[in-house]
């Protein structure tokens, strides 16, 4: 993989550059990624450039319209796609709020109120835990991106308790104060390398 691959910035607020920079500092040039809340795979994507650089990965997205585009994008590649809601500890059917052809979705009705006036649609989606996800895909991901409106903090905390956490070199996750169920900031051996309006990016010091 070329860490100079910056032809297009797919991320929302320069997260892509921060991730590539952190990988360069860590001396990591290839591996696997996990993208929870991947959307259509291109819009506001923190992992699209990695896929184009030859990385393998798993993209998870519960919104049907976005998942259809995600499947088409990665058809015939080394990136596997999964349609599901990811949580810290809940599995089974969950109420899922989403916007058609937009990248706003959540399983938290209270969190949806943050976007006043947004026309959310309601459906039922299958949910499983981050531990189940990691076990099913036998995931040892070097780069992790998590954007799960209203549940990101607790997913990060649950991930950190799984053996696969030891393989994470760089993690980019949505900053949120909602629910307060997980640690907003990681502790050593992780070092904060960048903050954007939407995300925190950490690198493991090995």
Quote the pLDDT of residue 13: 93
Query: Distance between the two ends of the chain, CA-based, in angstroms?
Result: 21
Q: Which of 87, 100, 77, 73 is nearest to 158 (CA)?
A: 87
Quote the pLDDT of residue 183: 59
Domains, the chain, ranges and CATH?
15-204 (3.40.50.150)
Quote the pLDDT of residue 182: 53
Q: Find the DSSP H helices in the chain.
A: 15-26, 48-52, 64-74, 109-112, 130-136, 152-160
Quote the pLDDT of residue 3: 46
Quote the pLDDT of residue 177: 65
pLDDT tens sequence across 97-153: 888 877 888 888 877 787 778 888 899 999 999 999 999 999 899 999 999 887 899
Quote the pLDDT of residue 1: 46
Quote the pLDDT of residue 180: 46
pLDDT along the chain (206 residues), means of 10: 65 95 94 97 96 96 95 97 94 90 82 81 93 94 92 92 96 75 77 93 92
CA angle 173/170/68 to nearest 5° reads 55
Quote the pLDDT of residue 163: 96
Quote the pLDDT of residue 111: 75
Residue pointed to by tokens 């691959």: 5
| pTM (two decimals) | 0.92
């Amino acid at each position: 993989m070329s860490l100079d691959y910056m032809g297009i910035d797919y991320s929302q607020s320069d997260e892509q550059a921060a991730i590539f920079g952190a990988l360069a500092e860590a001396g990591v040039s290839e591996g696997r990624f996990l993208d929870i809340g991947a959307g259509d795979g291109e819009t506001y994507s923190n992992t699209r450039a990695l896929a184009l650089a030859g990385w393998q990965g798993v993209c998870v997205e519960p919104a049907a319209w976005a998942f259809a585009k995600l499947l088409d994008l990665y058809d015939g590649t080394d990136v596997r796609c999964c349609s599901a809601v990811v949580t810290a500890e809940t599995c089974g059917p969950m109420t899922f709020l989403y916007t058609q052809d937009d990248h706003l979705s959540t399983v938290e009705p209270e969190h949806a109120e943050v976007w006043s006036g947004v026309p959310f649609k309601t459906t039922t989606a299958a949910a499983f835990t981050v531990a189940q996800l990691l076990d099913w895909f036998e995931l040892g991901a070097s780069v992790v991106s998590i954007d799960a409106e209203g549940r990101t903090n607790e997913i990060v905390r649950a991930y950190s308790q799984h053996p696969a956490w030891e393989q994470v070199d760089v993690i980019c996750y949505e900053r949120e104060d909602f629910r307060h169920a997980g640690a907003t900031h990681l502790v050593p051996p992780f070092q904060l390398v960048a903050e954007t309006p939407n995300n925190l990016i950490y690198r493991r010091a090995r």
